[in-house]
Amino acid sequence: MSMFLLFTLSLLFFFFSTSSQQQQNPNKSDPISLFQQYLQIKTAHPNPDYTSAISFLTSQALSIGLKTLTLEFTPKKPVLLLTWPGQNPSFPSILLNSHIDSVPAEPAKWAHPPFSAFKDSDGRIFARGSQDDKCIGIQYLEAIRTLKSSNFSPLRTIHVSFVPDEEIGGADGAAKFASSKEFDNLNVGFVLDEGQASPSDEFRVFYADRTPWHLIVRALGAPGHGSRMYDNGAMENLMESMEVLARFRESEFDKVKAGMAAASEVISVNPVFLKAGTPSPTGFVMNMQPSEAEAGFDVRLPPTADPDRLKKRISNEWAPTTRNMTYQLHEGGPMRDNKGRPLMTPTNSSNPWWSVFEQSIIAGGGKLAKPEILPSTTDARFMRQRGIPTLGFSPMANTPILLHEHNEFLKDSVFFRGIKVYESVIRALSSFAGTSV
């Protein structure tokens, strides 16, 4: 092989190798690179690396010129609070909230490692948390960076909060933050929190969340030989309850199928585990009926549901003591605000923040879909509990909904557009001079 050919091949190898590295590792201050760096920090449960995430976010906040404060209401579960002071600190402030943590991922079931933040040739950035919800955290910061560089000066103070543990209920994160003296001192008038992607060209916006209940139903009965037929066995009692639960689930689901209600407007009940039987070295003892059996259910209640009525149904129909049954119920957060009202933020003229937000989306070149109840649950409910108008919003149009799924991704073009949307939203909200809020 000639020296010239070797030299040419070396140049080609260097070019393609460098291009590939640049594609995955662009300028470290580029918004996409910052997004990738944040995604590469493993903040998935059960062992989220909050320390590295807080360090990274703090460095970005300082580079923008924001004030930083780290709060710790529970050891090793920090809340990062960033502040951009407004011209009139007596006006209620704006809070932009997002969570640091994410759900686990199964690497073997991903096309690319879930914490590599791999960007393919179509601009799709694959990573756990890319949609839920590390995107909005970086978009907040990049929108503020652009606004500050343009010499924009907000009328109202802007706060950005990064909280832990949202994916496991938020008890040690947003719940404690929202009930703290530090939060009181922020004088928050309006909150934006996470939303969901939209497969259409319209942005989705959420005025309420469903409240999660975790229900475990247990049945007891006398053990017996596998060949015997008798009443009130543990498995028989549990199966009867599951049939009752299934009929309730079907009745709620029928409302959705018939177009009478959205999926987020009904009570959903889904079985998530079954546990029974007597273990053996080869599996289970097949000729022995167990004395105990239990099943777990994920229950979600819209804010319009009557929680007391559902509790009576659980006690009387789903786990009645007359069939040797008990139950354990964990209620995942509030359903009413401090004045006893359902946790819903008005999306009409009664809420002056709504029109400001809506107009800012239009000014930014976007369209809003009909406001809806979020099918799942976010930290927004803790803000609404305090009576603070709170909307769930993630500017991801023309994007499949992939939160908690394998191969979660966000396209770079959608990410960049989100920054521009937040520039318009933050500018409008922080400039709102309404004296009543």
DSSP 376-425: S--THHHHHHTT--EEEE----S----TTSTT-EEEHHHHHHHHHHHHHH
Tokens of 410: 């966000």
Same domain, 197 and 65: yes
Residue 183 has pLDDT above 60, yes or no: yes
Same domain, 397 and 352: yes
Rounded to 10 degrees, the C-alpha dihedral 274/279/284/287 comes to -110
Same domain, 174 and 34: yes
Between strands 93-99 and 158-163, the pairing is parallel
Distance CA 371, CA 353 (A): 14
Q: E-strand spans in 105-203?
A: 118-119, 124-126, 158-163, 188-193
Same domain, 217 and 203: no
Look up residue 352 and give its DSSP letter: H
**DSSP bridge pairs for 326:** 218
pLDDT at 437: 66
Residue 6 has pLDDT above 70, yes or no: no
How many domains are there within the chain?
2
Q: What is the length of the chain?
A: 437
Locate all alpha helices (DSSP H) within 168-294, ordered by sequence.
Answer: 174-178, 181-184, 234-257
Same domain, 125 and 168: yes
Distance CA 383, CA 190 (A): 9
Asked whether 128 and 41 are in contact (CB, 8 A), the reply is no
Same domain, 118 and 251: no
Residue 17 has pLDDT above 80, yes or no: no
pLDDT at 8: 41
> Per-residue pLDDT tens for 272-319?
999 999 888 988 899 999 999 999 999 999 999 999 999 999 999 999
Active site residues: 101, 166
Same domain, 280 and 217: yes
Domain CATH code at residue 228: 3.30.70.360
Domain CATH code at residue 401: 3.40.630.10
Mean pLDDT confidence for 27-51: 94
> Per-residue pLDDT tens for 246-265?
999 999 999 999 999 999 99
> Per-residue pLDDT tens for 55-110?
999 999 999 999 999 999 999 999 999 999 999 999 999 999 999 999 999 999 99
Asked whether 205 and 390 are in contact (CB, 8 A), the reply is no
Residue 361's SS3 state is helix
pLDDT at 222: 86
Distance CA 246, CA 371 (A): 30
Provide the pLDDT confidence category of residue 422 given band limits of 50, 70 and 90: very high
Look up residue 109 and give its DSSP letter: G
pLDDT at 231: 84
pTM: 0.87
Backbone torsion region of residue 149, taken as left when φ is above 0, otherwise alpha when ψ lies between -120 and 50, otherwise beta: alpha
User: Domain residues for 227?
Assistant: 211-301+305-331
Q: Which candidate, 53, 161, 175, 30, places its Cα nearest to that of 102?
A: 53
Is 285 domain-assigned?
yes
> Per-residue pLDDT tens for 119-172?
999 999 999 999 999 999 999 999 999 999 999 999 999 999 999 999 999 999
Residue 14 has pLDDT above 60, yes or no: no
Top-confidence residue, 1 or 231: 231
> Per-residue pLDDT tens for 369-392?
999 999 999 999 999 999 999 999
Tokens of 346: 């008005």
Same domain, 252 and 395: no
Asked whether 116 and 127 are in contact (CB, 8 A), the reply is yes
Q: What rounded mean pLDDT belongs to the chain?
A: 92
Distance CA 333, CA 383 (A): 11
Distance CA 420, CA 397 (A): 13
Half-sphere CA count of 107, side-chain side, radius 13 A: 6
> Per-residue pLDDT tens for 396-408?
999 999 999 999 9
Provide the pLDDT confidence category of residue 18 given band limits of 50, 70 and 90: very low
pLDDT at 297: 98
Unique residue bearing structure tokens 């909005």 = 136
pLDDT at 81: 98
Q: E-strand spans in 131-204?
A: 158-163, 188-193
